[in-house]
């Protein structure tokens, strides 16, 4: 059931006695990838660091606790044939180990204090921390880094927020049993990953998407092929469908839509995530906030207040843990280095969607490259033509590359197939280093591997 109170119960005004004042060189709000990594770097410089985290369940950040690590653990387990219960047990063990490791990575450092509570700005450079509705400390710091991440969006659909059967992606990672019928509201990447994984475990999955297609940003041929593969696997899609309301029954729920009613044992709400800033007290500061609640930063991750920075999902950019890690590099360069590293020079950014098989992408599609006026050449290669697919026992997929005829550099690639999440990183290195596609075309790869497909893919 969607938790409407857990995150907000602590965010109330408190009438406690004057709390102690703590001073730090660096204050980090949120235990995410960028913040925790920067905390260790600052400590190594001899600085005193405070890290405020609202929930012990989030030590280490979103990725290891409620996102990529647990979800991909479940995806892997589903493809290995484990039962749902076995997979959940593995997931719990993985998350518990990483959460504990990340806690001690900071807690065992004499220069770092972990403060459990909710941080709220009371001025540009001072923050109060609440725990169990009580202000336990006021913190003043020379520099502050906001690293509070993002949270699921709950759309304003009648009956949804109060339904006993509705879950966000966070809560769905802790289901105590596999629902026989699950309805997913939303057709984005998070929705599709859950749909693919739960379908593989044996649930009947229905996806409700209000637009007329899924994966609209992807190469059209690959998006169509992935859509057909998901349908052939048993996932039921209803496109151009508006969700109108949710009605709880005794042991299930009815999801009312523009295309009829769907009965579900569980409802997954996956319509996106928004920066978690609502309770930070930013209205008490001169920190600029965007229309979606994101903290506005420049290419150096500086906010509109000097010496206050923001990093990771809270800035409203791409929500990947490797972007948060690169944000750490930007912060390190700006605060301890020569300032040369910025968000403008981090190169092409790949991503993977962990449906089965995986869809990975970097750079421009053919249509995007043509619209920008490049003189392009393009080639597609079915995975079924790659010798390794026989060993993998999975012929599904299609690889596509787009190159600039004039410079001979790669403009983009879309890889839909087994191991694409690994292969896409080779393409990034080639693009960032301006390596001509002909180098990859003529390179020697081991056999039998998926990477040797690049010889044929780049033979344009």
Count CA atoms closer than 13 A to 201's CA, side-chain side.
27
The pLDDT profile of the chain, 460 residues, written as one tens digit per residue, is 777 544 443 444 445 467 899 999 999 999 999 999 999 999 999 999 999 999 999 999 999 999 999 999 999 999 999 999 999 999 999 999 999 999 999 999 999 999 999 999 999 999 999 999 899 999 999 999 999 999 999 999 999 999 999 999 999 999 999 999 999 999 999 999 999 999 999 999 999 999 999 999 999 999 999 999 999 999 999 999 999 999 999 999 999 999 999 999 999 999 999 999 999 999 999 999 999 999 999 999 999 999 999 999 999 999 999 999 999 999 999 999 999 999 999 999 999 999 999 999 999 999 999 999 999 999 999 999 999 999 999 999 999 999 999 999 999 999 999 999 999 999 999 999 999 999 999 999 999 999 999 999 999 9
| Residue 17: predicted pLDDT | 66
228 assigned binding-site residue: no
Distance, CA of 231 to CA of 442 (rounded, Å): 37
- Tell me the two tokens of residue 269: 């709400």
Pairing state between β 359-363 and 410-416: antiparallel
The mean of the pLDDT values for the chain is: 95
For residues 198 and 205, the answer to whether their CB atoms sit within 8 Å is: yes
272 assigned binding-site residue: yes
Pairing state between β 359-363 and 351-353: antiparallel
Q: What are phi and psi of 194, to 5 degrees?
A: -65, -40
Give catalytic status of residue 240 as yes or no: no
60 assigned binding-site residue: no
Distance, CA of 334 to CA of 342 (rounded, Å): 8
189 assigned binding-site residue: yes
| Residue 19: predicted pLDDT | 83
Q: Report the 10 Å Cβ neighbour count for 101.
A: 12
| Residue 12: predicted pLDDT | 42
363 assigned binding-site residue: no
72 assigned binding-site residue: yes
* Domains in the chain with CATH codes: 21-151+274-345 (3.50.50.60), 166-271 (3.50.50.60), 351-457 (3.30.390.30)
316 assigned binding-site residue: no
209 assigned binding-site residue: yes
Nearest C-alpha neighbor of 61 from the set 149, 152, 131: 149
For residues 377 and 439, the answer to whether their CB atoms sit within 8 Å is: no
Nearest C-alpha neighbor of 30 from the set 147, 122, 109: 147
Strand boundaries in 20-111, DSSP class E: 21-29, 49-53
Which residue in the list 92, 240, 434, 447 is annotated as catalytic? 447
* Three-state SS annotation for 108-159: CCCCEEEEECEEEEEECCEEEEEECCEEEEEEEEEEEEECCCEEECCCCCCC
188 assigned binding-site residue: yes
| Residue 220: predicted pLDDT | 94
Give the angle subtended at the CA of 364 by the CAs of 360 and 366, to the nearest 5°.
105
For residues 84 and 201, the answer to whether their CB atoms sit within 8 Å is: yes
Q: What are phi and psi of 205, to 5 degrees?
A: -110, 130
| Residue 415: predicted pLDDT | 98
């Amino acid at each position: 059931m969607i938790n409407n109170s857990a995150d907000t119960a602590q965010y109330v005004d408190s009438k406690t006695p004057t709390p102690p004042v703590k001073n730090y060189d660096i204050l980090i709000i949120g235990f995410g990838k960028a913040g925790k990594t920067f905390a260790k770097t600052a400590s190594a410089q001899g600085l005193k660091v405070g890290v405020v985290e609202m929930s012990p369940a989030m030590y280490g950040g979103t990725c290891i606790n409620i996102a990529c690590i647990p979800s991909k653990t479940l995806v892997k387990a589903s493809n290995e044939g484990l039962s749902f219960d076995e997979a959940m047990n593995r997931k719990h063990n993985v998350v518990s180990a990483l959460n504990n490791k990340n806690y001690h990575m900071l807690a065992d450092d004499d220069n770092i204090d972990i403060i459990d509570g909710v941080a709220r700005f009371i001025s540009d450079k001072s923050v109060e921390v609440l725990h169990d509705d009580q202000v336990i400390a006021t913190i003043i710091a020379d520099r502050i880094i906001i690293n509070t991440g993002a949270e699921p969006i709950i759309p304003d659909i009648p009956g949804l927020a109060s339904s006993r059967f509705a879950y966000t992606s966070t809560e769905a990672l802790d289901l105590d049993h596999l629902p026989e019928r699950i309805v997913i509201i939303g057709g984005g990447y998070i929705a599709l990953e859950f749909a693919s994984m739960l379908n593989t475990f044996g649930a009947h999955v229905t996806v409700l998407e209000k637009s007329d297609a899924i994966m609209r940003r992807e190469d059209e041929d690959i998006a169509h092929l992935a859509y057909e593969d998901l349908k052939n696997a048993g996932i039921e899609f209803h496109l151009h469908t508006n969700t109108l309301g949710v009605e709880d029954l005794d042991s299930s729920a009815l999801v009312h839509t523009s295309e009829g009613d769907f009965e579900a044992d569980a409802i997954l709400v996956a319509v996106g995530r928004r920066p978690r800033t609502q309770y930070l007290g930013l209205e008490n500061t001169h920190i600029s906030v965007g229309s979606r609640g994101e903290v506005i930063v420049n290419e150096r991750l500086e906010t509109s207040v000097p010496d206050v920075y923001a990093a990771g999902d809270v800035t409203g950019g791409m929500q990947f843990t490797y972007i948060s890690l690169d944000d750490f590099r930007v912060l390190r360069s700006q605060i301890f280095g020569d300032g040369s590293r910025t968000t403008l020079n981090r190169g092409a950014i790949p991503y993977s969607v962990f449906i089965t098989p995986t869809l990975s992408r970097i750079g421009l599609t053919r249509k995007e490259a043509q619209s920008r006026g490049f003189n392009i050449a393009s080639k597609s290669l079915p995975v079924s033509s790659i010798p390794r697919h026989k060993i993998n026992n999975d012929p599904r997929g299609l690889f596509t590359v787009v190159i600039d005829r004039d410079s001979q550099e790669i403009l983009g690639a879309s890889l839909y197939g087994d191991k694409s999440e690994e292969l896409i990183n080779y393409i990034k290195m080639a693009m960032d280093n301006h390596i001509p596609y002909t180098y990859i075309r003529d390179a020697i790869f081991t056999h039998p591997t998926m990477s040797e497909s690049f010889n044929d893919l780049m033979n344009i």
